[in-house]
Amino acid sequence: MKEGFRQAMAWLHTWTGLIFGWLLFAIFLTGTMSYFKEEITHWSQPEVRSHPLDAAASLGLAQQYLQANAGNAGSWFIRLPNEREAALNVGWREEGSVGRRGFVSRKLDAQSGQAVVARDSRGGDFFYRFHFQLEMPHPWGRWLSTFCAFIMLLGLVTGIITHKKIFKEFFTFRPGKGQRSWLDGHNAIGVLVLPFHLMISYSSLVLFMYMVMPAGIMASYDNSREYFNEVFGQREAPRAAGIPTSLVALPELYAKVRDQVPGARLGWIEVQNPGDLNSRVIMTRASADSVAFKRSDNWTFDGASGEQLSRGKPESTAMLVSFTFAGLHMGNFADSWLRWLYFVFGLAGTAVIGTGLVMWLGKRQLKHAKSDSMPTELRLVEVLNIASMSGLLLGVAAFFWANRLVPVTMEGRADWEVNSFLLVWALSLPHAMLRPGRRAWAEQLALGALAFALLPLLNALTTDHGLVRAIAANDWAMAGFDLTALAVGLFLAWAASRMMRAPKLADKRVSRAVKAPPETLGEPEAN
Amino acid sequence: MLSIAMIGYAGFAALCLAMEKHFNELLKRKATANQSRGLRVVGWGLLMLSLVLAVQHRGWALGLVEWLAVLMAGVTLWVFLLPYRPRLLLALAAVSVVLGPVLAVLAN
Amino acid sequence: MKSKATGPTLSYRLAVTSRSLAALLGGYLLASLGSICISLLAPMQKVDAVLSGMMLSFVFYLLAFIWCFACRSARRAWIGVLLPSLVLGMIDGLAYWMNY
């Protein structure tokens, strides 16, 4: 702080990065996985079959099912199948229930309209929820992860300030040089993918700004519902009239939507007071249809007469900006190649955090390279590094193994998948404590390599959706999962083998470290 | 989109070569001031061209997003593979600078 | 700022804690008051002003964080976030009072 602005920023970068790095790593990794949320769910629930898409037919099936099974419900919700999600999702709120408690949801087969008997699994939704709720009670997880996003943004800004040669070393990566290479790699991934990093961390704040920064809403609105209604163009559900009236056919309303906007796809459909004179049908356009995530892009119909009551207002500039940040963050609009790039950039963000954590320790270990024992605080960081990175990967693998191995009929099996994830992750901590640093890394990475590389085999043995069959059936979500698992396994095997080998480079570093005090070795940004 | 990716990639390759250090290392000869300046102009020109094509092809919203995505991917590939496969990357840049515009013209 | 072999002194630790609190709480106060200021005074529709205020509040928070660790002492960190907060608070109060 007193040594100058850049040093102060380097200090801030170093310490906020260390304290929040472990959690940020988990948030980024699970968030990156969420770009393939539907694909992961597809792998986790192979019982749900995909069929050629026919939105109108699916709407009709959903209406039939809800009519038969939830005729008295206060409201219905429908999500149509799309290119990425095979199931026709329906849900309803039990009559007279409040809050989440009375909410029932079902996955229907898109062709037969019957409920699919699929294994109970949270699939990709688990990782998606974890990345912003952290399995903590509401709303603490959301607050914490949003604060982590702010720290990421702060880390990016302080990192840019600290990084002296941002343009001079724009294209620089020098491998095989120990700490120097780690720093090069950290800087290069940070700088080259900077637009993504900035977008993803700032947009996380925008997504939850109504929660973390509500002062403006409180000053201008009587309550937050008024604000939401204005932003999302929603109206309160009318009171039920108590006069039974049959609901207009939903496919007809969809045809009206398509008359107005040819090619429009629907995402979320809500029916308020179904079967009543005062029923309302709200159709919201699919978020895949535009970069901005516009919940305001909707149509409201009178459910009894089928007359269109209102159309979502065009968004103002400020709305469009905030919706665009939300849309960019979630990437619903991305087709498959852009989605893969999203995934790669997400991994890049994860890698920036990971390399930062490794460097923090590596630089300080140099001072103690000659002695056998490490100071307690460095050992603590080492253990947490191992458990938060390789341990997390083991946890993820455990989730998928549990998905295939826990009996399909078992009560509460979805919880057991989650428990396996948490349990294995937690177990990686004592393991890292008991084994010396490099050994612990090597063993956990090697186990992770096995666990991921064998997933395709496990899949082929326990289901009839193995890699070969999936490719033959053109089921690229299933095959892509297996191939990605294989690639992750190979990468972890490579990393493990690097860790197994005696650290030759460390010797060189030690000899250099002896000659010069470590502080003068690296640049300030290496802190 | 492939053409835009290729043009953007070639643009970054040119910008990289416009830096004396990288030029000397990669091409094993000294860069003249004119060469450096020329490469810088060509590099920025290619980046702008890819931006124009992306926006024209996909509109502002999606065009900008996709342009940034392929640019980031291209330059990341360039930087991290450069120490290992410099000749391959240079060849790829040479191919891109020719094939990229050709594909763009064919797509229109 | 590097920890010396003997470890940081107590007063140093207290100073860092004080700065952290100034950044965390004082910065939040500043950001909140800043967002209210924009949402009440920006010449646009109410919902747009509120949205803009919230989106920009994180910039205030970021600057407050940077200030709190860049300034020369912990005392200055507090002054640096509380003084602008006070000014913003007065503007906010005035704007709120004129609106209602």
- The pLDDT tens digits for A173-196 are 998 888 889 999 999 999 999 999
What chains are in contact with A, requiring at least 3 Cβ pairs below 8 Å? Answer: B, C
| Contact between chain B and chain C (3 or more Cβ pairs less than 8 Å apart) | no
pLDDT at C5: 47
* Cβ contacts from A onto C, under 8 A: 103
State how far the Cα of A170 lies from the Cα of A152, in Å rounded to an integer: 21
Is A216 in Cβ contact with C38 (below 8 Å)? yes
Looking at chain C, how many residues does it have? 100
- Give A99's pLDDT tier (boundaries 50, 70, 90): low
pLDDT at A97: 66
Mutate to test the interface with A, among C1, C38, C100 (most CBs of A within 10 A): C1
Q: Is residue A217 part of a domain?
A: no
Least confident of A40-44, A131-135, A229-233, C77-81: A229-233
According to the per-residue pLDDT averaged within each range, which of A155-169, A295-309, C79-93 is highest? C79-93
pLDDT at B28: 86
Identify the closest residue of chain B to A174 by CA–CA distance.
B83
| Closest chain C C-alpha to A183 CA, distance in angstroms | 19
Q: Is residue A319 part of a domain?
A: no
A149: contact with C, CB 8 A cutoff = no
CB A368 within 8 A of CB A322: no
pLDDT at A357: 96
Q: Are residues A107 and A147 in the same domain?
A: no
Of C2, C54, C61, nearest to A216 by CB-CB distance is C54
Q: What is the pTM of this model?
A: 0.92
Q: Are residues A283 and A334 in the same domain?
A: no
Q: Are residues A304 and A444 in the same domain?
A: no
A290: contact with B, CB 8 A cutoff = yes
Residue C4: what are its φ and ψ, rounded to 5°? Answer: -80, 170
Of A188, A291, A337, nearest to B62 by CB-CB distance is A291
Q: Is the pLDDT of residue A231 over 70?
A: yes
Q: Are residues A142 and A104 in the same domain?
A: no
Mutate to test the interface with A, among C47, C57, C97, C100 (most CBs of A within 10 A): C47
Is A519 in Cβ contact with C2 (below 8 Å)? yes
Q: Is residue B54 part of a domain?
A: yes
Q: Is residue C73 part of a domain?
A: yes
The whole domain housing A280 covers 49-118+235-312
Give the domain-ending residue among A281, A312, A343. A312
- Give B95's pLDDT tier (boundaries 50, 70, 90): very high
Q: Is residue C4 part of a domain?
A: no
State how far the Cα of B106 lies from the Cα of B100, in Å rounded to an integer: 10
| Closest chain A C-alpha to C40 CA, distance in angstroms | 7
pLDDT at A431: 96
Q: What total number of domains does chain A contain?
A: 2
Q: Residue type at C36? A: I
Mutate to test the interface with A, among B2, B65, B66 (most CBs of A within 10 A): B65
Q: Is residue A246 part of a domain?
A: yes
| Closest chain C C-alpha to A176 CA, distance in angstroms | 27
Tokens of A273: 């007071």
A214: left (phi over 0), alpha (psi -120 to 50) or beta: alpha
Q: Is residue A106 part of a domain?
A: yes
Residues ≥6 apart with Cβ < 8 Å to A297? A284, A285, A289, A290, A312
Contact residues, A window 440-479, toward C, CB-based 8 Å cutoff:
none
Q: Are residues A143 and A192 in the same domain?
A: yes
Q: What total number of domains does chain B contain?
A: 1
Q: Is residue B104 part of a domain?
A: no
Q: What total number of domains does chain C contain?
A: 1
Q: Is residue C77 part of a domain?
A: yes
Q: Is the pLDDT of residue C68 over 70?
A: yes
Chain center to CA of B18: 12
Identify the closest residue of chain A to B73 by CA–CA distance.
A341
Q: Is residue A257 part of a domain?
A: yes
Distances (CA, A) of B79 to A41, A172, A358, B15, B22: 35, 7, 21, 12, 11
The model's pLDDT over C3-32, given as tens digits with 9 standing for 90+, comes to 444 567 889 999 999 999 999 999 999 999
A211: contact with C, CB 8 A cutoff = no
Exposed e or buried b for every residue in B10-39, given b needs 16+ CB within 10 A?
A: bbbbbbbbbbeebbeebeeeebeeebeeeb
Q: Are residues A113 and A69 in the same domain?
A: yes
CB B66 within 8 A of CB A183: no
Give 3-state DSSP helix, strand, coil % of chain B, rounded to 5. Answer: 85, 0, 15
The model's pLDDT over A53-98, given as tens digits with 9 standing for 90+, comes to 899 999 999 999 999 998 888 899 999 999 899 899 999 987 666 6
Q: Is residue C15 part of a domain?
A: no
pLDDT at C76: 92
- Give A503's pLDDT tier (boundaries 50, 70, 90): low
Q: Is residue C93 part of a domain?
A: yes
The whole domain housing C27 covers 20-99
Mutate to test the interface with C, among A198, A212, A213 (most CBs of C within 10 A): A213
Q: Residue type at A203? A: S
CB A63 within 8 A of CB A384: no
Q: Is residue C8 part of a domain?
A: no
Q: Is residue C90 part of a domain?
A: yes
- Give A1's pLDDT tier (boundaries 50, 70, 90): very low
Q: Are residues A15 and A136 in the same domain?
A: yes
pLDDT at B104: 87
A217: contact with C, CB 8 A cutoff = yes
Q: Are residues A288 and A418 in the same domain?
A: no
- Give B17's pLDDT tier (boundaries 50, 70, 90): very high
Q: Is residue B106 part of a domain?
A: no
Q: Is residue C39 part of a domain?
A: yes
Q: Is residue A501 part of a domain?
A: yes
The whole domain housing B65 covers 2-99
Q: Are residues A295 and A443 in the same domain?
A: no
For chain A, give the mean pLDDT.
89
